[in-house]
């Protein structure tokens, strides 16, 4: 597949931001906790902050040929709830356009058993967002994948559990959002970006 051209986020690219020093408070393969000091465009005295470091991730809105979205019902242990979501996952290697696209296609197959249509399928980048910018540097790259075909059952990794896959129309998805049946940031952010671009 041809890798689409899209911008990658660069920390500190906005003028006036400097991380002056940092100390690692905790680290494991999944997260790090860093005590860091910053100067900012408006504050020239050092500002201390605790930053939780997480891998970059992708979130994908898969769409069938008839325009319906593919959603997964996934258990989320920290909040003890099963949530309707778009498929998503962390990028386990260096963040490049190629690794982002690889992760997006892999998550499509793993979480909802879908693949891009061989002839007409496209993965369209929709930018990125920060899911909780007050305490973590995590960034999530957003995509639509259309049209997709169902090619297998979901095969989530050992730490995940997906109980169901559902095809929903744009109207049904808006209804789920309005009724607070969808409460996770990645699905809300991705659909907001889709809607802002005039898609269904």
Nearest CA-CA partner of 63 in 104, 116, 23: 116
Residue 51, C-beta contacts closer than 8 angstroms, at least 6 positions apart: 33, 34, 35, 36, 135, 136, 137
Least confidently predicted of 5-9, 10-14, 89-93? 10-14
Q: What is the pLDDT of residues 141-200, one digit of tens each?
A: 999 999 999 998 887 776 778 889 999 999 999 999 999 999 999 999 999 999 998 876
Q: Is the pLDDT of residue 1 over 70?
A: no
CA 32 to chain centre: 19
Q: What is the pLDDT of residues 71-82, one digit of tens each?
A: 999 999 999 999
Mean pLDDT of 130-150: 96
6 band by pLDDT with thresholds 50, 70 and 90: very high
Distance (Å) of CA 190 to CA 12, 41, 155: 24, 30, 23
Per DSSP bridges, beta strands 140-146 and 57-62 are parallel
Q: What is the pLDDT of residues 10-58, one digit of tens each?
A: 988 899 999 999 999 999 999 999 999 999 999 999 999 999 999 999 9
């Amino acid at each position: 597949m041809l890798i689409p051209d899209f911008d990658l986020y660069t920390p500190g690219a906005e003028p006036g931001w400097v991380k002056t020093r940092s100390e690692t408070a905790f680290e494991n393969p999944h997260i790090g906790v860093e005590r860091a000091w910053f100067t900012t465009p408006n504050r020239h005295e050092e500002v201390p902050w605790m930053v939780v470091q997480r891998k970059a991730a992708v979130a994908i809105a898969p769409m069938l040929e008839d325009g319906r979205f593919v959603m997964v019902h996934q258990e989320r242990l920290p909040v003890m709830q099963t949530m309707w979501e778009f498929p998503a996952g962390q990028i386990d290697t260096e963040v490049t356009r190629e690794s982002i696209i690889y992760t997006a296609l892999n998550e499509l197959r793993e979480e909802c058993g879908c693949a891009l249509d061989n002839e007409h399928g496209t993965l369209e980048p929709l930018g990125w967002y920060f899911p909780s910018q007050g305490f973590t540097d995590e960034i999530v790259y957003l995509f639509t994948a259309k049209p997709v075909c169902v090619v297998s059952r979901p095969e989530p990794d050992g730490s995940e559990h997906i109980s169901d896959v559902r095809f929903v129309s744009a109207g049904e998805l808006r209804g789920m959002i309005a009724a607070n049946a969808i409460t996770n940031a990645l699905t809300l952010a991705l659909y907001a970006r889709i809607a802002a671009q005039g898609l269904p």
